[in-house]
A = this chain, B = another copy of it.
């Protein structure tokens, strides 16, 4: 496992306040998904990123709209942190015509091309080579932007993770592999999935630069991601960033979580990334009131967007057959 070459970037207080608000945005957003899912307003089975927000925020703080992002089944936070419109994202999760994918994709297949969100996959590991491919396209065109892919620790059980890492290293692709190691794959703990405790350990054989950090510390994520992305932009090849984190919610909305003890869940709350940034900012002399109002602003911003999404129109059933092919002539298949 390598350590950082370049000194960690240090965010200004203002940057941190932005991130604080961004963390709250995701937290509130996921809370609304949970609430409405419980109320039966959300189709499918959404997976929440509650507790893992610092990874999304700390990494995406370094990205431009041209940088491409791929995420997984647990991608709401990444998409928001990348700049996708809150209302359009929520509308997609509700399956509305105003959703980013016009209600065709849903929670597990969020795409917002205008903001560089090129996709999410419901098949674990399936997003990894796509991100490498986007990086290849940038490399082939001599463009300077990079590709980022977020995935869970369970995805390292999938062969395509290893295939993709091998190819990315071989081709020196500007792709950042961000693993959110939350210690579980569905109901099964990491120990039962693999003898390999840290995902970053997979990097060594390839001479892939990698680091394991505390993914609940947004400052640590910001610093590590900054250094990693700097390396990528220099054209020095891929980077694997493992962020140790915790999922405060169930695997999906409705998961009874029999596999986790009360104590464990309590301990998880201790590590809440929002609380930790708050403590840091208070120590830096930021007023409690300012932080509270930032939280409030995020809450209002999201809730307003959610309410607009809830009253947005549903897709027209007559349009169900659109977007299958490039040309109508190809689409005439019964």
Residues of A within 8 A of B (CB): 157-163, 166, 169-170, 192-196, 201-202, 204-208
Contacts and interface: CB of A to CB of B under 8 A. Distances in A.
A192 B194 CA distance: 29
B158 A163 contact: yes
A204 B205 CA distance: 8
Most chain B beta carbons < 10 A, residue from A159, A160, A192:
A159
Contacts of A158: 159, 163
A191 to B, nearest CB: 9
Contact of A196 (B159, B161, B206): B206
Given A195-B207, A204-B205, A205-B196, A166 B157 contact: yes
Most chain B beta carbons < 10 A, residue from A166, A206, A208:
A166
Nearest to A167: B157
Q: Say whether chain A's binding surface is mostly helix, strand, loop, or mixed.
A: helix
Query: How many identical chains are in the complex?
Result: 2
B206 A195 contact: yes
A43 B213 CA distance: 56
A232 to B, nearest CB: 17
A104 B144 CA distance: 54
Contact of A166 (B170, B194, B204, B207): B194
A181 to B, nearest CB: 14
Given A158-B163, A194-B206, 5 more contacts: A159-B159, A166-B195, A166-B196, A170-B194, A204-B204
Contacts of A163: 157-159
Nearest to A164: B159
Nearest to A200: B205
A204 B161 CA distance: 17
A318 B101 CA distance: 56
Contacts of A170: 192-195
The 6 residue pairs across chains A and B that have the minimum distance between CB atoms: A159-B159, A162-B162, A201-B205, A159-B163, A169-B195, A196-B205
A202 B169 CA distance: 15
A169 B201 CA distance: 15
B157 A159 contact: no
30 contacts: A157-B163, A157-B166, A158-B159, A158-B163, A159-B159, A159-B160, A159-B161, A159-B162, A159-B163, A161-B162, A162-B162, A166-B194, A166-B195, A166-B196, A169-B195, A170-B192, A170-B194, A170-B195, A194-B206, A195-B206, A195-B207, A195-B208, A196-B205, A196-B206, A201-B204, A201-B205, A202-B205, A204-B204, A204-B205, A205-B205
